[in-house]
Chain A
Amino acid sequence: MVTGDGDRFPLTTREGWERFAGDQPADPKLLAEADLGLLSGADRTAYDHDRADYHSRLVTVATPTVRQVFAAGRRLVLLNRHQVSARRGLIVTGAAGTGKTTAVTQLGRNHELLLRHRLGQQATAGRMPVVYVTVPPAATPKMLAAEFARFAGVPVNNRQQNQADITNAVCDVLSRLRTDLVLVDEIHNLNLATRVGADASDQLKYLAERIPATFVYAGIDIEGSGLFGGTRGQQIAGRFGVISCDPFPYGTAGQRQQWQALIATLEQSLRLHRHEPGQLLRLDAYLHERTDGMIGSLSHLIRGAAVEAVMDGTERITRETLDRVGLDHAAETARTRRKTAAPRRRDSAG
């Protein structure tokens, strides 16, 4: 009885990560209208279910930020390979929904796939090249070490093992499995203003010293969170490069072109029977207004509308379909704010 299936494991476990890294979602083939009519009721339901499932994931778009994080991360992994201490790292910061997690997980996935390709499946079987953990709220050093242990699958007995035991076990196992990229998400949960938060930050630094890997942190508005303040912060600032994930702007022609390219990529991946190419592209201004240029919100909006179009049988994404899909609170609030601000500007102008 080997529990190798990753279905029941989240991304912050080895099994979940392996599933994510090796996942190649099937691209459902669109049937011709004539063939569609020949499907029985059960077959049609299964066909629609497959397409809804496909649209629920859609594709991960290689945005400029994703490409920048990948290039910088890859370069750092290579530079750090022979570094015995003071390894350089990377911090990916930005507002919520700007694609930080997508960027760092894609960096990890690409790194793992490159390694599998270079060394072969068999040689990488006994390795764990990438570790992906999230910082829990109010994290203590022991909790942080336990998160690493949970990812690796090192069993932790909280009552019998102290922080040093867990940390040593984690460092030994990850060194043995030749981990060379560690992704730490939700780093904003570290509050350096508190004693516990500062201790957790020290623990992270200690892990970075013990595990011969490149550390990449991701979190919301890290510059403003105090991570670079004080003596500890100065050391982090001296070793980590920062990549900022910003919402897509929609001001200049060039910026609009970049936004349209993103929409076009997502539109190309749709598998809807009556959706005409370019239909979504014409709604680019509306989409930017709805999502405030946040790629997370845009992806959710288009995926939600695609699933809706499959379910209600309209098989196309229109403005009405998009209107029916609710977005996250931040995007909706920003939209309302803009709507209320716009008439006032007009009033003051007039």
Chain B
Amino acid sequence: MNELLLGLADDELVLGWRESEWTGIAPMLEEDVAFSSIAQNEIGHARAVYQLLTDDADALAFDRRPEEYRCAPLVELRRLEWAPTIARRWLYELADQVRIEHLMRDEDSRVAGLAAKIDREEAYHRMHAEMWHARLAGEPRFEAAVAELWPYALGVLPEQQRPELAARANRPRDEVSQAVERGAHSDDLQALWEEMTSVRRSVPGAAW
């Protein structure tokens, strides 16, 4: 299986899950709507990519053990505070854009076509991230969150794409060696996995 695509789909699924945790409790109604909509769309992207990889997207999404997921640690972290939430949104969209732009040039036309559609949709997620970045840049809590999450953001991308991310995030290139790599998982994934897979584990093959 294509590890790069599986990583992309797992990132979108797990981040969509994390962002849906703001549904009902975001600091303002507009952000409640925004995070719910972004989460829904990220999970839609995960579904579309899983469907490229397998005939049974639900099985791939929900029937693996936690250690079998290929998501980057960035998307697993549970940070129900606004500064790290926005810092992650902004960093993730920057990294995801680099990755999607590469996939739009993939030799497999199905991959390139899907990446182009995802890119058109992600444009709206990027606008939201840019808007919040413009508001919060320079604020100490936001900057501290960006600094903490930066090595995690680098880990979203394969090594050769990291200098491009550093350029777009306006960070020094020599930091790219600090990446928190994909493969190992943070402790936060276990609880997310237990909740996310609870229906499928109690009723094998369940669809909803």
A, B assembled together: no
